[in-house]
Structure formats: structure tokens, C-alpha cells
Amino acid sequence: MRTIDVIIVGASLAAAAAAKRLADAGLETIVLERQALPRHKICSGILSPRGHRFLLENFGPLPREVLHDPVSCKGVTFHFPSMVSMPMDFFGGTTPHLHRKFSDHWAIKQSGAEVHDQTSFVGLEDHGDHVIVQARKQGEPIEYRARYVIGADGPSSPVIRALYPDYPKTIPWFFVGQKFHEIIECPLDEQYFHFWFHPGLGHYTWSHARDGRQIVGVGFKTGDNFAKKHAVVQQYLHDKHGVKLQPAGDDHEGCAENFGPSLINRYVFGKGNVLVTGQAAGFLNMIGEGMSCALHSGAISGEAIVEARLRNRPVQEMYRKMIASEVRRTSDQWNPLKIAFDKPHEADFPAALGALGWRDRARVMKDIWNFVVLYKEFKWGRQIFRAAMQRPLIGGYSMRKWL
């Protein structure tokens, strides 16, 4: 059995950031990835400016092959049922449009950690002074002995399931699906990610250009029919925005999302010698942007291990102290008071709203209210809106709810 300092589960962006901190500190680190690398990852790939800075500062300039076409994105455009469209530019200019299959592989290679792909995490036993990790490499059982483990294994996190088997039953799950269309005519600006605040379309509806095709995506809940939801959105884009698309190709895709823990400040950070980070921990910004907080939380999980060793302190104590800044930053993005009076986002919502005439501004506010508070299908909408309103505008977040 191989003995190492740290095992990281998942070879994505949170993992790359954690691995970089650990490898830089001289800790022997192995990253386990269940898929063969480079692996596909369903994602729009729109990186926030803060995520972009993280990649540049930690891994260097991005090679062309880690980008889709268009290679960059100016910002996000919100569309409302009242037919007001509100483009918001990212602070500091355009950001890269990542091709996750290649960007994640590039970042993990740059981290300097050893990577074992086609190796699935199966379970763990925390013995206090070490953790035994059980995995399967191409079907064959394999065990590792590590001082610490980091679960950077995404929304369905097998590491969380190993620590808290009942946790997945306690949070709301959503599904997202997207289809790819050849374009006949598309007036939507390809330099923006487009998002619809429209109860008639669903709780999460988006579209953007990628490699010469148009993606049309919808969020849906268990029991909903993805094809029907998608058809409604495609028809709406045609009728209201003049978007003419060919029927979708066969390569549609979807996945389950743990959308919401950051909204209600209910993160999972692990226990004992096992840390959880990235989207597995619940980090996901508003409108589903998760790469920047995956990178930053991942780096903090790696730093927490380095600090715990240096100071001879329990790693959970270090991690929970150090992660508080990222919690505040991510949860603030959902806070209506922060959105109205501050700038928690990386695109300028107040400026875009201010640029509208007062009639359109009133329409937008009414549409947002209808979407967040009155939308019946968004069952826990009212509950989470109340929870968000109760958060402190400035200062700390309660850690009592964190696992």
C-alpha cells in the first residue's frame, strides 16, 4: 500500500488549486480521478475575472487549446419576461471561455502533483493519525494510506457520501440539461452568456455560442421531461428573440446539481482528517458560476493542511477559520441587500440597472420579484429568500449550520 501525505479525490479545478498549494509546500500528493484524462466536464466554461486571475497567478498564461471559440466572454446578459434585456460587462474586461476538458487537465498538470486517472474513490477509514482510502483502478481494488484526504469530487461527492451517508437526502437537487444546435440565425450577442429570469421557462435557462453552435440549456426537477422543457425554450427563443436553430444534435447532456447550499449558508467541510472543497462543499455562485470559488476554496483546503502541519493544530480547525472569507464572498452573491447596495458580483448589476430608463428598471425589479419570490415551481424560493434576507449585511456568517 502506498503511503503519502495527501490524497485528493477528483482532478478538476478545486483539486488543481489544492494540489498546487500542497506540492509547493513539498507534500507528497496524489490526485485520484475516476475518468481517463483529459476528461469531459459539462460546463459553459465562462470564467469569472477572479477565476481568471487565479489561473494566471498560479498556473501561468492559458494555452489556446484550453479555450473554446469564441475564446472570451464580455459578461452576462439577463433577459426578462417584460422583454427588457440587460447586458452586464465583467469588471476588468473579457475573461477566457474555458474548454473544461483541456483547461482542467492543463491546471492539474501544472500543479506538480502525481495524478492517477481511471481510479475511482470508493471509501475511506479515518484512523486519527492516518486515513485509508479505498479505490478501484480500472476495476481492480487499490488502497492508499494518507495523512489527509481532500474531497474535490464535485456536486455528487462520493467523499461526502462516505462521511455523511444521509447528507444527499437532506438537500434539494436540481438537474440541468443542454442541447447543441447548428445556427441558422442568432441575434444573441455571442460575446455574452445569456440567462432568462422567466418563470414560464424554468428556474434556470441559458444559451450561449460555442464552437460554431448554439447551446440551449434548461434546469429541471425530478419528474420533469427535459426534452419538453428544452422545446419550450427553443420555441421561446425563436418567437421572442428571432433565434433560428437547426434541430439539436444527438450529443445532448445533463447532470444533477447541488444548487443551493451557498445560498442558505449550509456548507460541508468534512471531519477529522478529511476536508471537502469546491462544489462538493457547496460553493456555487449565483447563476451557477462555480469555477472561481472551486479554485479559491480548493487552494484554501491545501493551505489549511500546510498550516495544520506547521502549527501542529487539527486540520478542521485551520480549514474552518481560513475558509470563512470564501464563504462570505460566495454567500454574499445571493444576498439581495448586497446585490442592491454593494457589488458582490463580478459584473456590474447596479450599473446595468442604472443604465435603463425608470420604466424598464421597474419592470426588471418586478420580474425579479416574481421569479424569486412568487415562482411556484421554485418550491423553496420563498424560504431561501427569507433566509438570505436574514443574513448579516456585513461581517461573519454563522458556522453552526456547516457540516
Ligand X SMILES: Cc1cc2nc3c(=O)[nH]c(=O)nc-3n(C[C@H](O)[C@H](O)[C@H](O)COP(=O)(O)OP(=O)(O)OC[C@H]3O[C@@H](n4cnc5c(N)ncnc54)[C@H](O)[C@@H]3O)c2cc1C
Query: In the complex, which residues of this chain contact ligand X (CB under 6 A)?
Result: 9-15, 32-35, 39, 41-46, 120-121, 152-154, 158, 176, 178, 217, 255, 257, 278-280, 284, 288-291, 294
Residue type, 332: D
**Under a CB-based contact definition with an 8 Å cutoff, are residues 272 and 128 in contact?**
yes
Query: In angstroms, rounded to a whole number, what is the distance separating the alpha carbons of residues 202 and 378?
Result: 9
CB of 276 to ligand X, least distance (A): 10
Residue showing the smallest CB distance to ligand X in the complex: 290
137 within 8 A of 33, measured Cβ to Cβ: no
CB of residue 230 vs ligand X: minimum separation in angstroms? 13
| C-alpha closest to that of 7 among 128, 84, 114 | 114
Closest to ligand X by CB, 110 vs 370, is 110
Question: In whole angstroms, how close is the CB of 50 to ligand X at the nearest point?
Answer: 10
CB atoms inside a 10 Å sphere around CB 340? 11
Shortest distance (Å) from residue 386 CB to ligand X: 25
In the complex with ligand X, the residue whose CB is nearer, 153 or 326, is 153
**Residue with smaller CB distance to ligand X, 322 or 337:** 322
Of the candidates 155, 27, 35, which has an alpha carbon nearest to the alpha carbon of residue 104?
A: 35
Closer CB to ligand X, residue 38 or residue 81? 38
Query: Of 46 and 248, which has the nearer Cβ to ligand X?
Result: 46
Pairing of strands 253-257, 244-245: unpaired
Distance CA 166, CA 364 (A): 40
CB of 313 to ligand X, least distance (A): 25
Amino acid code (one letter) for 105: H
State which residue, 264 or 299, has the beta carbon closest to ligand X. Answer: 299
Name the minimum Å distance from CB 374 to ligand X: 26
Residue 181 β-bridge partners = 214
